[in-house]
Structure 1
Amino acid sequence: MIRNYFKIAWRNLMKSKGYSAINIGGLAVGMAVALMIGLWVYDELTFNKYHANYDRITQVMQHASFNGRIGTQVANPAIMGPEIRTKYGNDFKYVVQTSWNGTQLLSVGDKHIKSEGIYMEPDGPAMLTLKMIKGSISGLKDPYSILLSESVASTVFGNDDPINKTIKLNRTHDVKVTGVYEDLPDNTTFRDLKVIMPWELWLIDNPWVKRMNDPWDSNFSQTFAQLADNADLEKVSAKIKNVKLDNIGEEARRYKWAVFLQPMSKWNLYNEFKDGKNSGGNIQYVWLFSIIGIFVLLLACINFMNLSTARSEKRSKEVGIRKTIGSMRWQLIVQFFAESYLIVFIAFLLCLGLVQLFIPAFNEVAGKKLTIPWQSSFFWIFSIAFIIITGLLAGSYPALFLSSFQPLKVLKGTFRLGRFAAMPRKVLVVVQFTVSVMLIIGTIIVYQQIQYAKNRPIGYTKNGLISLDLETEVRQHFDVVKQELIQAGAIEEMAAAQSPLTDVWNTNGGFDWEGKDPNLAIDFPNNSITFDYGKAIQWDIKEGRDFSRGFASDSAAFVINETAARFIGMKDPVGKTLRWNGRAYTIIGIVKDILQESPFFPVRPSLYHIGKYDNMSNLILKLNPNQSTSNALGSIEKIWKKYTPTVPFEYRFVDEAFGNKFQAEERIGKLSTYFAVLAIFISCLGLFGMASFVAEQRTKEIGIRKVLGASVFNLWGLLSKEFITLVILSCVIAAPVAYYYLNNWLTNYDYRINISWQVFILAAIAALVLTILTVSFKAIKAAMSNPIRSLRTE
């Protein structure tokens, strides 16, 4: 019997090839979108699950009150790990102190490569459950050892066994390879962990840490911890809350430090904090794309429902005859579900082909490395469930509707669908275009928000600027290197800084000034720079002057930004004194705010002072505009190699680094655009099918009207007005709903656009134009057909 159901279903598909193609094509596209989004969501939800101790690993973080607000940070003092180990060791299996991920230079003979790596205490690899290919997971116990990822080991040593081989690390230490571990997958926080070095070696390279008068005074490292098997996260987090507060003086206690544990399960999806509380993060995009995936699939299912029920009169006699000869209603329902599942199954096969074809492009936009997990049993179980659910969604209404026909009326010819029979189809069309218009509006708003932030004043000229890591030899010959680069015609200016132009690496407290509230805790970005920094980036002096070698007193001076001037609250601050840790500094100038952090949030009060080369790590070069970029870079590389022959010449364009700040939003915008286009395509595909059916159903009426003198325009209006009315209604419904959700999304940004009414008008016009183009093809074709031929065939 089941075989017979599918035979009949196949014959019906072949009988109406055009409608079948529309149904299968629409469903395939909808399922492909849903499947790709499903793979993306699964990747996000399984983030960090590569680590076997995923549910027990935490990061030690801190809340603090400064500049009149509560901030949250991952940076800790180096003593945090040892202190927690000593006082609360029973609550943890591992407590691991680490540096930040950074570029490391590995040298073996004449081979020199740069790779991302981290300094980590010996228990780190075991905590992260790294999969060792060779050597020992406890290989970091020797301060002069190193662990390599499989890819780095292959690059450095080729096919040779790297264990116990020696590597020159950062041109300073000879370290022994004690282990090789499997490269970490893309969906883990530690995906860039290519090299691991002992924490003790970092302390050897940074002796100032052990010489600090107050080891709690500076936050410059990270602390990770794995809970003991019987420990409760909330209780342990509450225990360690005051671990810092109990070890600092009265002055530092004003910051109200509160230590807490952030579980690994929240690092990716709940990574944002506002006023000391978790405010979400990537989870909002997981929900957003999940909803979009469901809606796009629903749109494709709506097409199936609409076309199936619209063609009900053609199936009415079949239903009547089958019921007359004894078919039960449930048998008819099974028959129609068989047709639905046949279409869905064919669409799913086509869907897999579409996903395989387009997933590389999807990965490029989404910043992922997704693949179809062909060998995963879970994927095939999910696929079967996916087919079942889609078949139910698409086939339930047509099956129940078509099986309800009364055989007596059908066979007597008195069967009529009634004036309200088309109402469900109209409702479904409205739902389709409401979703599509909302996606159009969302795409426009995301684009406007990104452009608004991109056009924000940044306070410097980023064009023609490149940055490099400041190497020791360049520090030692700074002025000579600068002069050679200028004489070669490669650059106009060269400067160095503690923080890059597109980030803040250093903040300080301990500031005081006349009129300051004594209870106010301060934490300002405080950038150590060279004299020509302002000339190199061409910052805008609003008041006072720039740093100058002609003033010896500038070694104890600050240039501050406009936000700092407002925050300090002094009238005419130029020439006034600002004390830092008790030492007096003179404010010599005020510059326009420089945008170093997120372009969507306010610039923080920031200070700039002349520092020593040893405290700087970023080199900034202003290229000569009168020389081509390639020639300038060639000249720079030649001089660079003269002083640092073993260090690869790697530079970054500042404008590209600034552009990377929009990656997350641009990714969301691009994905939203693609999904909106596909949703509209599916909706228009269904509309085309409906228009084709209506034109076919009204062939005789069109012929009569043409004979009586109706023009092509009149007939076009007759066939199109109903669809246009439904789309206008969709726009009316979509506008307030889209406004509500998009306005809520924009509240995540302090620097944001105001939603304009023109956006809704533009979206409505776009939807109407697409509707008219879709419907017009069939409407005009029907209106221009020969009326005698249509009347004769009828």
Structure 2
Amino acid sequence: MNYFKTSWRNIKKRKAFSVINAGGLALGMTSCLLLLLYVWHHWNYDKQFTGIENIYVLQNNQQGDGKIFTFLATPKVIAGTIATEVPGVKRTARVLSYTAGGLISYKESGIKKDGLFADPAFFEMFDYKFISGSPAKALAQPNSIVLTRDLAANLFGDDNPMGKTVRRNDTTQLMVTGVVENIPTNTTFRFDYFLPWSIVENEQSWIKNAGWGSNFCQTFVQLKDEKYYSSANGIIKKMINKNQNGYKGEAFMFPFAKLHLWSKFENGKSVGGMIDQIRQFSILAICILLIACINFMNLSTARSEERAKEVGIRKAIGSSRKSLIAQFMSESLILSLFAMITSVILLFICLPYFNRLLGIQLSAPWSQWYFWAFLVGITVLTGVVSGSYPAFYLSSFRPVKVLKGALKTSKGTLSLRKVLVVIQFGFAVFLITATLCVYRQISFIRNKPTGFDKVGLVEIPVEGNLGKSTDLFIREAKNAGAIVSGTGLSQSITQSGNNTWGFEWPGKRPDEQVLIDVLRVGNDFTATTGIKLIEGRQFSGANAADTSSSTIIINETAAKIMKLKSPVGSIIKSGGSPVTVIGVIKDFIWGSPYQKVAPMVLSYSGSSSSVLAVRLNPAKNISSSVRKMEEILKSINPAYPPVLHFTDEDFEKKFENEKTLGLLANLFGGLAIIISCLGLFGLATYAAELRTKEIGIRKVLGASVQGITTLLSRDFLQLVVISIIIAVPLSWWSLGKWLENYEYRISLDWTLFVFAGLITIIVALLTVSFQAVKAALANPVKSLRSE
């Protein structure tokens, strides 16, 4: 207790330095906690399911274009085959997402939400918390539905929803057979209701009749025990080829627990994914906390001469080195405790803003004992790490030298202090460079030509009565002056996903496999989307060849791969049937803007579309055009609330991952600089105090304010320049490796590093100069009157 009383007196005695020390530690701890909460959120994806170690999702490897493509889509028939033919399998379940949004209605109220089709075994495999109903029976009935707590409350209020009937898409009657707790934000399945698999088969005849060559659903396998994995996976790998001759497909079991973090595949093997970002932010969290600890070490050892006499006297009257170490460690732990209390308050205040900034829902487990145990551990660890070197260094002073006034700060201490400052600012330079690089890469991809005009292009999901009235809507919207053209699409212009190996062309080698994107489009496709028609013509509902699906349009890449010298008029085969190329369009980005454009074939959709794309009238106000379209939609499709998606906004969502990376690098890079500058400010303050008399003499002898400011700033700026020299090559190497993940990427040039260096120098200069100018402007009479 005596140690803590003495420590508290020393802390109060040096209030300014104590505030800087505790403030730096508090910022470091808060930054560390925020980053670790983000890491914890992603690390615990799907961990709420028990027995997850025995649950696997099937991945599908297919060869073509000299590569192996890996995707989650599998044939629907593979689940049943696995359940009956593979030993050690406990159960299988098929899942099909319904993310286009379905209308769920009760009486007069209707809500559009995303749903999921699944086999009855789904709830036995994934143990959702049921508020009402039985997991084993919830999806057993053909016309049943399971709701989340929020959706049930929105539809039924306080009434018991069990057994009540709701309508799906204003047609299908469904009985509520279960209510589950709201879905956590860190789970793969983010849906508001669940439907039995039988419904999608009844609604889509092609799904009911789909065989081994149609990959469209996800398949999950639960084993009885991990020991069955090798044998089960070996059988499953041969299953697709065994049931479909000449088809080069290979399904394999991938641990469901790793799906979120290890979703990136190259050449048929998992090579990373979100785990790379998690590692980066874990390292960032540790480094920021270390920067704060370095501040503490620097400031504590900088005041060594001031505390030297205290150490000398205590040793002279019998204090052991062990007791002195305990004394200094006590001070460090007390400051660390204050810093942690401050950081918890800051965390509580900042977390809602942090969530809004990133569009995420992080929450600290305030009520869990392990969270507080972790905080205590961080507090002790920070206190020990930051206080260890000062404690051992200060306690090593020899009392005879100290009391004679012969103590001089050792070169080793100065060298270590300089090294710590260099490390601090080297890390800050790296974070600034990384932030600039991320934003340049995002800007480069964002500004890269997409091949279509996304500004003024609006997409409307085709549902309900709109499915048979798309031509009517386009005509009325044109007459109202809201749009200038419209076309039907099989899926969004911003989302890829439909492709096939089933095209043949003259000169194609028997062993050549090329995966080709397929998009079905309607009339006025090029006029509506702004995609350029290079040669030939586009589809027309008045042309019998188009409506009979015997014509196609291809993109530039497809024409090059097929080596068609005169593409228009060429005849190729689609699924064994001849089709004629009537046009060639310019390549456009369909899917990821980071990948090369794939070969594409367009076919005519006629009146069968899932998305309606319209081009807004540029001569009209956007708000009025949207209002008119909503009025027309309500008149044609009264059961459905109007939904309009602006393509430019949807396209921006493709950069969310990189934006998050850039925001976090920017935010915590800035905090790292602030923490480093706090330490630099403290060191500059102490350096000015030590040289007070020197500054007074120099001023009396005629030194200018500028000269004294330069004198005091020079040493610190030299350290910052050294940190830049060290950080630049390391940044060049690491950012170069990061950019290799993108097929379209910027090149690293010298301006990036010069700009980062200048920012660091300016910030450091402002920090040091404030104290330097203050010292230079001080009255020399006050500093010399004691002489």
TM-score with structure 1 length normalisation?
0.97
Q: Are residue 569 (structure 1) and residue 566 (structure 2) matched?
A: no
Q: Distance in 1 between matches of 2:786 and 2:776?
A: 16
Q: Are residue 623 (structure 1) and residue 613 (structure 2) matched?
A: no
* Per-residue deviation, 1:596: 1.5
Q: Which residue of 1 aligns with 2:186?
A: 187
* Per-residue deviation, 1:210: 3.4
Q: Are residue 52 (structure 1) and residue 50 (structure 2) matched?
A: yes
Residue type of the alignment partner of 2:54: R
Q: Which residue of 2 aligns with 1:712?
A: 705
Match of 2:232 among 233, 236, 248: 236
Q: Are residue 361 (structure 1) and residue 357 (structure 2) matched?
A: no
Residues 132-153 of structure 1, C-alpha deviation per residue, up to 9 Å, x if partnerless?
1012212211101111111111
Q: Distance in 1 between matches of 2:138 and 2:539?
A: 49
Match of 2:652 among 646, 650, 659: 659
Contact 1:22 1:685 survives alignment (8 Å): yes
Residue type of the alignment partner of 1:219: N
Q: Which residue of 1 aligns with 2:327?
A: 335
Q: Which residue of 1 aligns with 2:423?
A: 431
* Per-residue deviation, 1:28: 0.2
Report runs of 4+ in structure 1 exceeding 6 Å deviation.
Answer: none
Residue type of the alignment partner of 1:244: I
Contact 2:470 2:612 survives alignment (8 Å): no
Contact 2:79 2:92 survives alignment (8 Å): yes
Q: Which residue of 2 aligns with 1:217?
A: 213
Contact 1:594 1:603 survives alignment (8 Å): yes
* Per-residue deviation, 1:542: 2.5
Q: Distance in 2 between matches of 1:345 and 1:42?
A: 23
Q: Are residue 698 (structure 1) and residue 691 (structure 2) matched?
A: yes
**Sequence identity (%):** 40
Match of 1:578 among 572, 577, 582: 572
Q: Are residue 771 (structure 1) and residue 771 (structure 2) matched?
A: no
Match of 1:91 among 88, 93, 103: 88
Contact 1:498 1:505 survives alignment (8 Å): no
SS in 2 for 1:381: helix
After TM superposition, the structure 1 stretch with the greater mean CA deviation from structure 2, 26-35 or 548-557, is 548-557
Q: Distance in 1 between matches of 2:623 and 2:401?
A: 82
Residue type of the alignment partner of 1:732: I
| Unaligned 5+ runs, structure 2 | none
Contact 2:200 2:207 survives alignment (8 Å): no
* Per-residue deviation, 1:225: 1.6
Q: Distance in 1 between matches of 2:383 and 2:638?
A: 65
Match of 1:493 among 447, 469, 485: 485
Contact 1:443 1:669 survives alignment (8 Å): yes
Q: Aligned pair in 2 of structure 1 residues 364, 235: CA closer, same or farther (>3 Å)?
A: farther
SS in 1 for 2:260: coil
Contact 1:92 1:231 survives alignment (8 Å): no
Q: Which residue of 2 aligns with 1:542?
A: 534
Q: Distance in 2 between matches of 1:505 and 1:489?
A: 34
SS in 2 for 1:609: strand
Q: Which residue of 1 aligns with 2:104?
A: 106
* Per-residue deviation, 1:131: 0.8
Contact 1:365 1:671 survives alignment (8 Å): no
Residue type of the alignment partner of 1:777: F
* Per-residue deviation, 1:655: 0.5
Q: Distance in 1 between matches of 2:41 and 2:564?
A: 51
Q: Which residue of 2 aligns with 1:646?
A: 639
SS in 2 for 1:244: helix
Q: Distance in 1 between matches of 2:206 and 2:411?
A: 86
Q: Are residue 150 (structure 1) and residue 149 (structure 2) matched?
A: yes
* Per-residue deviation, 1:480: 2.0
Q: Distance in 1 between matches of 2:515 and 2:142?
A: 34
SS in 2 for 1:99: strand
* Per-residue deviation, 1:415: 1.6
TM-score with structure 2 length normalisation?
0.98
Match of 1:529 among 515, 521, 532: 521
After TM superposition, the structure 1 stretch with the greater mean CA deviation from structure 2, 575-584 or 721-730, is 575-584
Residues 579-623 of structure 1, C-alpha deviation per residue, up to 9 Å, x if partnerless?
212222222222221112111111111111112333x21111111
Q: Are residue 61 (structure 1) and residue 59 (structure 2) matched?
A: yes
Residue type of the alignment partner of 1:429: V
Q: Distance in 1 between matches of 2:350 and 2:195?
A: 40
Residue type of the alignment partner of 1:80: I
Contact 1:720 1:775 survives alignment (8 Å): yes
Q: Which residue of 1 aligns with 2:160?
A: 161
Q: Distance in 1 between matches of 2:118 and 2:173?
A: 17
Contact 2:488 2:610 survives alignment (8 Å): yes
Q: Distance in 1 between matches of 2:573 and 2:667?
A: 54
Contact 1:498 1:506 survives alignment (8 Å): no
Q: Which residue of 2 aligns with 1:372?
A: 364
Match of 1:287 among 230, 255, 279: 279
Contact 1:467 1:618 survives alignment (8 Å): yes
Q: Which residue of 1 aligns with 2:74?
A: 76
* Per-residue deviation, 1:487: 0.6
Q: Distance in 1 between matches of 2:162 and 2:588?
A: 48
Q: Which residue of 2 aligns with 1:173?
A: 172
Match of 1:674 among 663, 667, 672: 667
Q: Aligned pair in 2 of structure 1 residues 730, 705: CA closer, same or farther (>3 Å)?
A: same
Q: Distance in 2 between matches of 1:359 and 1:233?
A: 42
After TM superposition, the structure 1 stretch with the greater mean CA deviation from structure 2, 396-405 or 516-525, is 516-525
SS in 2 for 1:422: helix
Q: Are residue 605 (structure 1) and residue 605 (structure 2) matched?
A: no
Q: Which residue of 2 aligns with 1:440?
A: 432
Match of 1:519 among 478, 486, 511: 511
* Per-residue deviation, 1:397: 0.4
Q: Distance in 2 between matches of 1:240 and 1:304?
A: 58
Q: Are residue 245 (structure 1) and residue 241 (structure 2) matched?
A: yes
* Per-residue deviation, 1:505: 3.3
Contact 2:169 2:464 survives alignment (8 Å): no
Contact 2:594 2:742 survives alignment (8 Å): yes
* Per-residue deviation, 1:518: 1.6
Residue type of the alignment partner of 2:347: V
Over aligned residue pairs, what C-alpha RMSD do you find?
Answer: 1.4
SS in 2 for 1:603: coil
The 5 A counterparts of 1:192-211 are: 192-211=190-209
* Per-residue deviation, 1:93: 1.5
Q: Distance in 1 between matches of 2:213 and 2:407?
A: 86
Residues 613-642 of structure 1, C-alpha deviation per residue, up to 9 Å, x if partnerless?
33x211111111222222111111111111
Q: Which residue of 2 aligns with 1:403?
A: 395
Residues 420-473 of structure 1, C-alpha deviation per residue, up to 9 Å, x if partnerless?
431111110000000000000000100111001001110111111111111242
Contact 1:494 1:533 survives alignment (8 Å): yes
Q: Distance in 2 between matches of 1:241 and 1:335?
A: 65
Residues 99-147 of structure 1, C-alpha deviation per residue, up to 9 Å, x if partnerless?
1232221111111111111111101012110111012212211101111
SS in 1 for 2:564: coil
After TM superposition, the structure 1 stretch with the greater mean CA deviation from structure 2, 43-52 or 395-404, is 43-52
Q: Which residue of 2 aligns with 1:122?
A: 120
* Per-residue deviation, 1:566: 1.8
Contact 2:495 2:591 survives alignment (8 Å): yes
SS in 2 for 1:573: coil
SS in 2 for 1:96: strand
Q: Distance in 1 between matches of 2:411 and 2:282?
A: 37
Q: Aligned pair in 2 of structure 1 residues 26, 466: CA closer, same or farther (>3 Å)?
A: same
Q: Distance in 1 between matches of 2:143 and 2:8?
A: 71
